[in-house]
Amino acid sequence: MLDSLKNNSIFVINKNNLVMLDYDNHGQSAAKSLLNEKGSTTISRKESTLLNKVEKAHIKFYSLTDKLSNDSGIYGIYCRVNDKIYIGSAINFHARLIRHIYYLKNNKHHSTKLQRAFNKYGIDSFKFLVLEITDKSLLLEKESYWINYLDSYKNGFNCTDACKNPKRFKLKSEQIQKRTEKSSKTVMCLDIEGKFICKYSSLSKAARAINDQTTNISSCCKGKLNYVKDFIFVYASEYDEFKDYKYTPKPKVFTELHKKNISDAVKGKPKSKNQIDLLIKRSSKSVVKLDLEGNVVKIYSSLKECCNDDQLYIKTLKKSISSKTPLVGFIYEFNENIV
């Protein structure tokens, strides 16, 4: 407050709200509220040494919902309510921000300080800062510099004051052996008829041979899949040459309710009585079969009878009658059209 008073700023209490009258170079004043809508104090740029340092570097503020670049470098997550910042390094700014948001929203972030502030103030109170774009080899060094420069360990959200090279994850010899044995299982390849074709020394080789995934072949060996690309796979340790591995598809069994649902779906909207009467009248029309010279060959009592006798489709027969074109060497007409 004292620093602000020295900079020609006057504080006035107006209706339980603290207002700062800040005079610019032209002598004009501008009232700035130091309380937000919820009543918590916000930090002015003149009082914040952190913001002053950031602004000197001409750093741009982004919202946590903005799409960022894929550059590598040092970033900060700044809370404008309590004037604290989290410093981190990323190989890809946008991907790293997405992970931060995911962990914060699910209350699983590794920084308990940042998680508490996020839960208290919400996502709209935070801004993302791209502090420096640098090479991947200098990330840890630059991150430590920015943590100390902006004091984000003691007065920020960082949980450590310096970055160290993370320990590489190494599998134990037992784990390596177990994974090797699992991936190098010998696999027998059979056709759909159950006849032996060839043998593969591992799942990966079998997958490359048929251009498929190892997970599918493993599922087939475990009985979760019947076959993969017309091939049946069995682990060599479980293979029995006297067993019938022929694939026999199981018949589909439908319940009465299932049949009714299928029937209703096929039928669609129920037809009215007039529509049903019209369909019956059309299907019961007498059809006359003529040769190309116009002589009567046969008379049918309905379209259905004509189609069954001459092995025709009803739609094809109707089209032939309406267009008056010959069909399989004959002319078909409704009996009422014959004069």
Each residue's pLDDT tens digit, 203-221:
888 999 999 988 899 999 9
Closest listed residue to residue 62, CA positions, set 49, 75, 44, 47: 75
Q: Are residues 69 and 99 in the same domain?
A: yes
Does some domain include residue 301?
yes
Closest listed residue to residue 200, CA positions, set 230, 225, 235, 231: 235
- Local confidence band at 228 (pLDDT 50, 70, 90 cut-offs): very high
Q: Are residues 230 and 279 in the same domain?
A: no
Q: Are residues 121 and 57 in the same domain?
A: yes
Dist CA 217 CA 206 (whole Å): 8
pLDDT for the residue numbered 14: 40
Does some domain include residue 156?
no
Structure tokens at 318: 């109707």
pLDDT for the residue numbered 3: 41
Q: What CATH number does residue 69 fall under?
A: 3.40.1440.10
pLDDT for the residue numbered 47: 56
Boundary (domain end) residue, out of 149, 170, 189: 149
Q: Name residue 21's beta-bridge partners.
A: 10, 31
pLDDT for the residue numbered 169: 56
Q: Are residues 72 and 141 in the same domain?
A: yes
Burial environment of residue 67 by CB neighbours within 10 A (0 to 12, 13 to 18, 19 or more): exposed
Q: Are residues 279 and 315 in the same domain?
A: yes
Between 198 and 303, the higher pLDDT residue: 198
Boundary (domain end) residue, out of 132, 149, 166: 149
* Ranges 45-59, 91-105, 164-178, 248-262, most confident: 91-105
- Local confidence band at 77 (pLDDT 50, 70, 90 cut-offs): very high
Q: Are residues 127 and 186 in the same domain?
A: no
- Local confidence band at 274 (pLDDT 50, 70, 90 cut-offs): confident
Q: Give how far Cα 326 sits from Cα of 74, 180, 289, Å.
A: 81, 72, 10
Dist CA 260 CA 161 (whole Å): 70
**For residue 233, is pLDDT > 90?**
yes
pLDDT above 90 coverage of the chain, percent = 21
Q: Are residues 26 and 54 in the same domain?
A: no
What's the half-sphere exposure (Cβ side, CA atoms, 13 Å) at 74?
22
- Render the burial of 205-244: b for 16+ CB within 10 Å, e for the rest: ebbeebeeebebbbebbeeeeeebeebbbbeeeebeeeee
Does some domain include residue 13?
yes
How many domains does one find in the chain?
A: 4
pLDDT for the residue numbered 325: 86
List the domain range (segments joined by +) for residue 72: 49-149
Does some domain include residue 172?
no
Q: Name residue 75's beta-bridge partners.
A: 88, 130
Q: Are residues 54 and 144 in the same domain?
A: yes
Q: Are residues 212 and 131 in the same domain?
A: no
Q: Where are the alpha helices (DSSP H) in 159-248?
A: 173-183, 203-210, 214-221
Does some domain include residue 38?
no
pLDDT for the residue numbered 187: 92
**What distance, in Å, lies between the first and last C-alpha atoms of the chain?**
110
How confident is the model over 262-287, as a mean pLDDT?
Answer: 75
Look over the chain and give the mean of its residue pLDDT values, rounded to a whole number. 78
pLDDT for the residue numbered 220: 92
| Range 317-322 contact pairs with CB under 8 angstroms and sequence separation of 24 or more | 317/287, 321/287
The 10s digit of each residue's pLDDT in 238-248 is: 999 888 898 88
pLDDT for the residue numbered 313: 85
Q: What CATH number does residue 298 fall under?
A: 1.10.10.10
Does some domain include residue 283?
yes
Task: Tell whether pTM > 0.85.
Answer: no
The 10s digit of each residue's pLDDT in 144-159 is: 888 988 888 988 999 8
The 10s digit of each residue's pLDDT in 277-323 is: 777 766 667 888 888 888 888 888 888 888 888 888 888 888 888 88
- Local confidence band at 103 (pLDDT 50, 70, 90 cut-offs): very high
Q: Quick one: angle between helices 303-310 and 314-323, nearest 10?
A: 110
Q: Are residues 188 and 230 in the same domain?
A: yes
* Ranges 22-26, 33-37, 207-211, 323-327, most confident: 207-211
How confident is the model over 107-124, as a mean pLDDT?
Answer: 92
pLDDT for the residue numbered 179: 72
- Local confidence band at 21 (pLDDT 50, 70, 90 cut-offs): very low
Q: Are residues 285 and 331 in the same domain?
A: yes
pLDDT for the residue numbered 27: 40
Does some domain include residue 17?
yes
Does some domain include residue 176?
no
The 10s digit of each residue's pLDDT in 121-151 is: 999 899 998 888 888 888 888 898 889 888 8
Q: Are residues 57 and 114 in the same domain?
A: yes
Burial environment of residue 44 by CB neighbours within 10 A (0 to 12, 13 to 18, 19 or more): middle
Dist CA 167 CA 32 (whole Å): 49
Dist CA 88 CA 147 (whole Å): 8
How confident is the model over 39-47, as a mean pLDDT?
Answer: 49
**For residue 168, is pLDDT > 80?**
no
Which segments of the chain are extended strands (E)? 9-14, 17-23, 29-33, 61-63, 73-79, 84-90, 126-133, 187-191, 196-200, 231-235, 287-290, 296-300, 331-334
